[in-house]
Structure 1
Amino acid sequence: MDVSLQFLGAAHCVTGSKYLLTLDTPPARQQVLVDCGLFQGLKELRLRNREALPLEPAQLAAVILTHAHIDHSGYLPRLVKDGFRGRIFCTEPTADLLSIMLLDSAKLQEEEAAFANKKGFSRHHPALPLYTQADVQQVLPLVESVAYDAPLAFLDGQLTLTFREAGHILGSAVAEVSVQGATQRKQLAFSGDLGRYDNPVMHDPAAIAQADVLLVESTYGDRDTRISDPEAELARVVHAALDPPGGVLLIAAFAVGRTQTLLYYLKKLRAEGRVPPVPVYVDSPMGIRVSDLYPRHPAAHRLGHGNVFDFAGLRFITEAAESKQLNDKTGPAIIISSSGMCTGGRIVHHLFHRLPRPQDTLLLIGYQAEGTRGRSLQEGATAIKMFGEMVPVRCHVAQLDGFSAHADRQELLHWLGNFRQPPKRTFIVHGEPAAAEALAHTLRQDRGWPNVTVPDYLEKQLLFEGI
C-alpha cells in the first residue's frame, strides 16, 4: 500500500483546511478527507471555494472533522451537493455545532447574495450562494459521532481514527489516524486547531506521544500572545471604553468559543465588582444557540452543569428588529456580536453605525486573517468598505490577543514537546507564511526535528511506500 497526502487548504494561510489522504493498493484506491473548510479572508483565497476540488466527491469514503469552525467544516454542504455520500466523523459536541454553524453559514450566504442583487454591487448577475440551507440538510444525516479516546476502525480496518482533546472550542479534537498496511502500521496526527493551556472554559490539549507523520497548526507560530492577567486587561478595556459619555463597547467575537469565554469573564468581573454593571447584549443568534449547548456537554468543558453564563443585565438578542434597535443605543453598554473577523453577520451592521462614532470602542479579541475587515481595522485603516460604500473609522479600536482560542508559540512548543521522539515527517499548516516558517525554523534549528516542511497549496506528498 502507498499512502499519500495532498494539501487542499490551510497551506501558507489560516483558512480552508482540507487534507486529502489517499490509500493506493492497486487496483483499489481509497480516499479520506481530513477537514473540509471554507476559504475566508483574501479574495484570492475565497475564489478557491468556487474551484473544483482535485477529487471526485462521490468516490470519497469519509470525511474526518477536527472541529466545527467554518474554515474546517464549511465546505461540507458543497461537497455533498457535488456528490459526496460517505461518512462524516466528528465528536458529539462537534456534531451538535455543525447543524448550527452550517445552517448559519448558508443563511448568511443567501442573505449576502440577495442583498448584493438588490443593491447591484456584485460582479455576478445574479449573485448566488455557494450553497443553501436546503443543501445543509443533506449533510446532517451523514454525520456520525465518535467519543474522545475511543478508537474507531473503518475501511475494513485499514484506518483507525481516535479523537483526542484539542482544547480549542467545544468538541474540538486532534485526529490520530492509524494506517494498517500489509506489513506495517503507521501513525498520522492532525492537530486541527490547538487551544490554550489553563483556559478557564476549555480543557487543556491532550498530549500526543507518537506519530510517524504530523500536521500541526501554526496560527501563532511566530509569537507569544499570552497575557499574565486577562481578567485585569479586559476590565481595563471595559473601563476605558465606557468612560466617555455615551460610550458603547462593541466586541467582535466568534460565536463559538470566544463569546462564551467573554461571558465567563464578564460574569466573574461583575460579581467581583471589577467592571460596572452596565447592560450586556449578545447579538449573535448563533452565539446564543452555541451557548445553550454547553449544559448538554458538561464533560467537554470546565464549567460543569447548569446555566453557566447568565448574569443580571445580560440580554440575548434573537430578532433582527431588536438588533437594529441597538444601532441607535447610546452607552454605557457592551455589545458582543459576531463574526470575530468582522467578515459577516450582525457585527457588520454594528460596525457600519459604530465605526464613525468617536465615543465608541471596537474590541478585537481573536486572530484577524489577511483580507478581513478585522485585519484592516487592526492595522489602522481609516475607512472600511461596507455595503458598497466607504465608512470612516473614528471610533477607538482596541485589541486583546490573549483571548485568542489558538495556542501561541510557546504553547505550540509545549504541546510538541510531548512527543517522545520527533515524527519522521512534520508539516506546518494553518498559518500565514511568516508564522509557519518561523515555527518550522524553530523545530529544525532549536529542537533538531528532521523533515519539517511548510507545504504549498495543492502540493502532494508520498508519505509511505509499499507498507
Structure 2
Amino acid sequence: MAQRRVTLTFLGAAGTVTGSKYLLTVGPEDGGGQGERRILVDAGVFQGEKQWRLRNWEEFPVDPATISDVVLTHAHNDHVGYLPALVRQGFGGPVRATEGTRRLAEIVLRDAGKLQEEAAEEARRGGWSKHEDPQPLYDVQDVEETLPLFETVQFDEDVDLGDGLVARWTRAGHILGSASVRLAVGGTSVLFSGDLGRHDHPLLKARGTPPASDFVVCESTYGDREHPEPEVEHGPMADAVSRTLARGGLVVIPAFAVDRTQLVLKVLVDLMRSGRIPEVPVVVDSPMALKALDVYRDESLGELRDDVDTDDFTGMPELIEASTSRESRALNRRFDPMIIVASSGMVEGGRVLHHLARLLPDVRNTVILTGYQAAGTRGRSIEEGARSVKINGHYIRVRAEVVRDEEFSVHGDASDLLDWLRDLGREPETVFVTHGEQDVARHFAGRIAEELDWTAVVPRYGEVVSLVPGAAHPKDRPPDPAG
C-alpha cells in the first residue's frame, strides 16, 4: 500500500501568539488525488496587532465545507473563537473536545457572538468605523448553529475518526479541559501541545505525558523566560493591594474569564487568610467569568486537584457577583476600597473598559496585570507605560499605578516546555515551534536545538510542510562516500 500523503499547514499562531489554526491534510489510502481528508486543529481568532486581526476577516484559505473535522485543545478564544465564522462559511462537521472544553467553549462563544454584535453596533452608532455598515465577524445565531456540532471525548483514550485516523487527548494542565492532541494516520503521527501548563496548576490536576510522536507542534508563549521562584509568589500583588487600599484607592484586575479569574480569586482568598492583604469586598464583574466559575465548581467533571475544594477560590468575606449590566454600572458610584476583577485579560473588551475609564486617571488606584499581554493590545500599552489609552473612541489618561504579577500565568515557562518535550520519550523528526512572538519562538527553538539536540524550526504563517516519517536526521546519516 502506498504511503499516505500527509501535510500540515500553519494557518495561525505562526509569527504570533494568537489565532491558533493548524490544517492537517491527509491523502486517500490508495495515494490518488480523490478523497483527501482535512482536519483543523483549533480554530482561534487573531488578537492584538491590527495586521493579525485583519486576517480574521480574510477568506479562509480552504473552503470550510471541505474540512471534515475540528479538534480542539482548549476553550480560550484564540483557540476556539473562529469556529462560528467557519460554520457561517459552510463547515458542518464534528467539533471534538473534552467535556470541560465543551462546557467552557459554549460560554466563550456565546459571549464572543454577543460582543461581535455589540462592537458592530457601537461602531455604527459612534461613527468610528471606516465601513458604512459595520458587520460582526459572526453573530449569536452562528454560535447557536455551532454548539450542536460538539462531540465530547475522554482523556487518554484513542478516538477513531474514521479513514484510519486516530486521535488522543492528554491533559495539558493549562485550563479546565485543556489537552494536548495527538493525531495518527497513515504511518505517521503528529502531536499538538496546545497551551501547556506548568508542572502544577493551583486548581487543576497536573498535566500528563502524551505518547511520543513523529512530529511535534509546540507552543512557545513563555519560551524566553522563567517564572519567579515560589518563595516570592504573588509578592507584587500583595504589596500593590495593601498600599493601594492604604491610600484609599481601588484595585482593578483585568483577567480572562476562563481560568485566570478563578486563579485570581484563589490567590486573593489565600492572601486574606494569611493576613497579607486586608479583607475588603472583591467584585467579579463578568457574566462570562461567573458562568465559568460555575463550571469550575462542578466537581463531577473531576478536574480539580485532590487538595482543592471550591471554598479555596470563593471563600472570602465578601464576594460580589455582578452578573447584570445594572450591577456593573452601579459600581461606578462606589469609591470605597475594593478589588474589582473583570474581563478581558488583555483589556481588549468587556466590562473592564468602563472601570479603567473611571479609575486610570486617579493616582490612588492600581491596575494589576496578571498575565501575558500580546503586542498591539491595550494591556501591552498599559504595561509598557503608555500615558494614555483609547477606550470606546476616547483617550483616557493613565495616572494609576500599574503592577504586573507574572505568577498568575498558567503557561509553562521555557523549562516547563523543555521538560514536557523530554518526557515524550523519544526524539521526533521535527519540532515546529509556534504560538509565540517571532523572537520568542526563535529563542525557544534555539534552546531545543542546544539542550535536546533536536531539529526545531519556526514555521511561517501559511507555510505547508510534508509529514514524512523516517527521514534520517543529519547526525544519524552515514558519511558521504564522496567525502
TM-score (norm 1): 0.95
Gaps of 5+ in 2: 472-483
Identical amino acids, percent of aligned pairs: 43
Task: State the partner residue of 1:444.
Answer: 449
Deviation of 1:114 after TM superposition, in Å, equals 1.0
The residue identity in structure 1 corresponding to 2:13 is: A
**1:339/1:139 CA distance change after superposition, 3 Å:** same
Cα distance in 2 for residues equivalent to 1:306 and 1:272: 18
Give 3-state SS (helix, strand or coil) of 1:58's partner.
helix
Match of 1:85 among 88, 92, 95: 92
Larger mean Cα displacement after TM superposition, 62-71 or 403-412 = 403-412
Task: State the partner residue of 1:168.
Answer: 174
**1:465/1:408 CA distance change after superposition, 3 Å:** closer
Q: How does 1:47-446 map to 2 (within 5 A)?
A: 47-156=54-163, 158-179=164-185, 181=186, 185-228=187-230, 229-244=232-247, 246-297=248-299, 298-302=301-305, 309-311=313-315, 312-446=317-451
Task: State the partner residue of 1:37.
Answer: 44
The residue identity in structure 2 corresponding to 1:19 is: Y
The residue identity in structure 2 corresponding to 1:42 is: E
Cα distance in 2 for residues equivalent to 1:356 and 1:444: 47
Deviation of 1:143 after TM superposition, in Å, equals 0.2
The residue identity in structure 2 corresponding to 1:286 is: M
Are 1:247 and 1:360, in contact at CA under 8 Å, matched by a contact in 2?
A: yes
The residue identity in structure 2 corresponding to 1:253 is: A
Residues 353-408 of structure 1: CA deviation (Å, up to 9, x unaligned): 11111110000001000100000111110010111121110000100112112111
Are 1:230 and 1:403, in contact at CA under 8 Å, matched by a contact in 2?
A: no
Residues 309-368 of structure 1: CA deviation (Å, up to 9, x unaligned): 323211110111111122232131100000000000001111111111111000000100
Give 3-state SS (helix, strand or coil) of 2:314's partner.
coil
Are 1:362 and 1:397, in contact at CA under 8 Å, matched by a contact in 2?
A: yes
The residue identity in structure 2 corresponding to 1:423 is: P
TM-score (norm 2): 0.92
Deviation of 1:54 after TM superposition, in Å, equals 1.3
Match of 1:461 among 455, 459, 465: 465
Cα distance in 1 for residues equivalent to 2:216 and 2:113: 32
Cα distance in 1 for residues equivalent to 2:459 and 2:332: 44
Give 3-state SS (helix, strand or coil) of 1:390's partner.
strand
Match of 2:18 among 12, 15, 18: 15
The residue identity in structure 1 corresponding to 2:327 is: E
Compute the RMSD of aligned alpha carbons. Answer: 1.6
Cα distance in 2 for residues equivalent to 1:271 and 1:335: 19
Are 1:242 and 1:331, in contact at CA under 8 Å, matched by a contact in 2?
A: no
Residues 141-170 of structure 1: CA deviation (Å, up to 9, x unaligned): 1100001011101123x1111100001111
Larger mean Cα displacement after TM superposition, 2-11 or 218-227 = 218-227
Deviation of 1:464 after TM superposition, in Å, equals 2.1
Give 3-state SS (helix, strand or coil) of 1:376's partner.
helix
Are 1:17 and 1:36, in contact at CA under 8 Å, matched by a contact in 2?
A: yes
The residue identity in structure 2 corresponding to 1:219 is: T
Deviation of 1:409 after TM superposition, in Å, equals 1.1
Deviation of 1:293 after TM superposition, in Å, equals 0.5
Are 2:196 and 2:411, in contact at CA under 8 Å, matched by a contact in 1?
A: yes
Give 3-state SS (helix, strand or coil) of 1:444's partner.
helix
Larger mean Cα displacement after TM superposition, 272-281 or 301-310 = 301-310
Are 1:109 and 1:130, in contact at CA under 8 Å, matched by a contact in 2?
A: yes
Give 3-state SS (helix, strand or coil) of 1:293's partner.
helix
Deviation of 1:307 after TM superposition, in Å, equals 5.5
Give 3-state SS (helix, strand or coil) of 1:28's partner.
coil
Give 3-state SS (helix, strand or coil) of 1:260's partner.
helix
Residues 183-230 of structure 1: CA deviation (Å, up to 9, x unaligned): xx2221100000112222122221235110000000011111234232
Cα distance in 2 for residues equivalent to 1:346 and 1:105: 13
Are 1:7 and 1:455, in contact at CA under 8 Å, matched by a contact in 2?
A: yes
**1:411/1:457 CA distance change after superposition, 3 Å:** same
Cα distance in 2 for residues equivalent to 1:342 and 1:357: 18
Give 3-state SS (helix, strand or coil) of 2:224's partner.
coil
Aligned length: 460
Are 1:205 and 1:415, in contact at CA under 8 Å, matched by a contact in 2?
A: no
The residue identity in structure 2 corresponding to 1:195 is: G
The residue identity in structure 2 corresponding to 1:160 is: V
Gaps of 5+ in 1: none
Are 1:3 and 1:465, in contact at CA under 8 Å, matched by a contact in 2?
A: no
Cα distance in 2 for residues equivalent to 1:327 and 1:458: 46
**1:401/1:305 CA distance change after superposition, 3 Å:** closer
Cα distance in 1 for residues equivalent to 2:39 and 2:274: 50
